[in-house]
Amino acid sequence: MSATRNHTTCRIGVAGLGTVGSGLLAFLAERPDYAPAGGRVVVTAVSARSRSRARPVDISHLAWFDDPVALAQSPDIDVFVELVGGSDGPAKAAVEAALQAGKAVVTANKALIAEHGAELAALAEARGVPLLFEAAVMGGVPAVKTVREALVGEDIQSLSGILNGTCNYILTEMEASGSAFADVLAEAQRLGYAEADPTMDVGGFDAAHKITILAALAFGGSPNFAAAEIQGIANVDLLDIRLAGDLGYRIKLIASAERAGEGARVRVRPFLIRKSHPIAQADGALNALYVEGRRIGRIFLQGPGAGAGPTAAAVAADIADVMVGGCRPVFLSPALELRPCAPPEGVVAEGRGYIRVMVRDEPGVLASVSEGLAEAGVSIESFLQKPPGDTPGVPIVMTTHAVAETVLEAAVSRIGRLPAVLEPPRLLYIAGI
C-alpha cells in the first residue's frame, strides 16, 4: 500500500472480469473511497481470458496481464483479487503465487477454499498475509463474517440453509408453474440463471462447497469437502412437490452441518421443510441460513446469494478489512494446528421420512405397505392417499417418525419389492429444524 501524507492508496489487481469482476470494477469506479480505514482503493491491473472481449466497464487505462499468475506476482499491486473460479487451474496457481509473494488475497471462489483451504491457509499464515473469502458463501450475505467473527464466542451446534440460488429458483418455479424439473432448468438456462453445464449447481456440489467452508469456520477444523454427503435436485419430482405441499411442506435443497459426536455431519439434500419455517419461505434465487447455538438460540440470515452488485460488495468488504489491517487465522485456529473437520464416527443418523409409493389401485395394498414398514421397524406418522388420476397407479404417501436412516432406507427398498408396487418408492427426508 502506498501512502502520502494524507492519502493511502490500496492497489488492486483483479483476475477475472466476468459477473463479479466487472461488478467490482464498476463499484470501485463509483466509490473508490468507501473503505472505513480511509484512503482509496484503485484497480491498477487486470487479467482475463480474452483481452478483446467487450466489457461492461472500461479497462483501457489498466495494465493487462494474459496470465493471472504474473498479475498475482506484480510488484504494482498490494492486494490480489481472484474472481476466475474453479478449484484448480489458473485460480489456484495465481492465489498461491500471490501468497508466496506476500500479497493479501481476496477471493469469491468457494470451490478453491473448500477443496484447498487448508494448504492455502498455511501458506497465507506463513507469509503473514490475509486470505479472505466473504463472497464465496452466500454472495452478498455476510455469512462468513457472521460465523467466523461475530459468533466466535458461541458454541455453534448446527447450520442449515439454502446456499444455491439456482436450485432454489428451480424448485420455486416448479412449484409455482407446475412444470417439470427439466423444463424449468431449460428455461433457467435460457434466462441465464443456470449455467450451460448445470452439474455444479443442480448436483448439489456448489452448496456442498459452501457448507464445507461454514462447517470449518463454525466447528474449528479445515474444510473437508471429501467428507460431505451430497445429493442434488435432479430427482425431485413435481408430484412430490405437490404432495409435500398437501402435507404442509415445501421441498428445498438444504445444506447442513451439525455436530455429531466428536465430528460434524456435513450434507446437502433435498428436504421437506414446514411451510411456516423461515427457510421454506426463502423463494426464487434467495439464499438463507439458519444458525443454532447454545447461547444465541437461533439466528436467521437471508439475502442475495449471487449477482454482480451483492457479490462485489462482499469482495469490497474483504478489501476494506485488508486496509484496516490485522491478520487473524484464516479458519478458527492457526493452520498448522488444524485437522480436517472430522466426519461423524459411530453416530447413527436419524431422520423422519416422506415416502411416496405408486401402487395398483386394489384392496389390501395399503395394509401390505404399512405392514412392510412396521415389520422393518418404521413407525408411520401420517398417511395421505390421493384418488386415481391420469397415472397408471395411485400414490400413497406416508411420513414417518424419526428412525435410523439405514433402517428407513432398507424398509423403503423392501416395500419396493411388493407385487402391487409399480415403481421404486421415493424417499425424501423431513428437515429436523
Ligand X SMILES: NC(=O)c1ccc[n+]([C@@H]2O[C@H](COP(=O)([O-])OP(=O)(O)OC[C@H]3O[C@@H](n4cnc5c(N)ncnc54)[C@H](OP(=O)(O)O)[C@@H]3O)[C@@H](O)[C@H]2O)c1
Q: Which residues are catalytic?
A: 210
Is 308 strand, coil or helix? Answer: helix
Note whether 263 binds ligand X by CB under 6 A: no
The one segment of 12-20, 180-188, 282-290, 374-382 that binds ligand X by CB under 6 A: 12-20
Q: Least distance (Å) from ligand X to the CB of residue 308?
A: 7
Question: From the centroid of its chain, how far is CA 278?
Answer: 17
Q: Least distance (Å) from ligand X to the CB of residue 46?
A: 9
Note whether 83 binds ligand X by CB under 6 A: yes
Give the amino acid at 191. L
Note whether 77 binds ligand X by CB under 6 A: no
Instruction: Give the sign of the dihedral formed by CA 248, CA 251, CA 257, CA 262.
Output: positive
Note whether 208 binds ligand X by CB under 6 A: no
Q: CA 308 to CA 301: how far, in whole Å?
A: 20
* Closer by beta carbon to ligand X, 68 or else 351: 68
Closest CA to 185 of 198, 203, 175, 176: 198
* Closer by beta carbon to ligand X, 140 or else 395: 140
Instruction: Give the sign of the dihedral formed by CA 225, CA 192, CA 133, CA 286.
Output: negative
Q: CA 288 to CA 280: how far, in whole Å?
A: 9
Inter-residue contact 316 to 28 (CB < 8 Å): yes
Span 296-335, contacts to ligand X by CB under 6 A: 306-307, 311
Q: CA 334 to CA 117: how far, in whole Å?
A: 12
Q: Least distance (Å) from ligand X to the CB of residue 116?
A: 13
Note whether 351 binds ligand X by CB under 6 A: no
Q: Least distance (Å) from ligand X to the CB of residue 26?
A: 12
Note whether 220 binds ligand X by CB under 6 A: no
Inter-residue contact 231 to 390 (CB < 8 Å): no
Note whether 360 binds ligand X by CB under 6 A: no
Q: Least distance (Å) from ligand X to the CB of residue 63?
A: 14
Span 16-55, contacts to ligand X by CB under 6 A: 16-21, 47-50, 53
Note whether 203 binds ligand X by CB under 6 A: no
Q: How far is CA 91 from CA 22, 86, 122, 157, in A?
A: 17, 6, 17, 33
Note whether 90 binds ligand X by CB under 6 A: yes
Inter-residue contact 170 to 252 (CB < 8 Å): no
Note whether 223 binds ligand X by CB under 6 A: no
Give the footprint of ligand X on this chain (CB under 6 A): 15-21, 47-50, 53, 68, 83-85, 90, 108-110, 135, 139, 306-307, 311
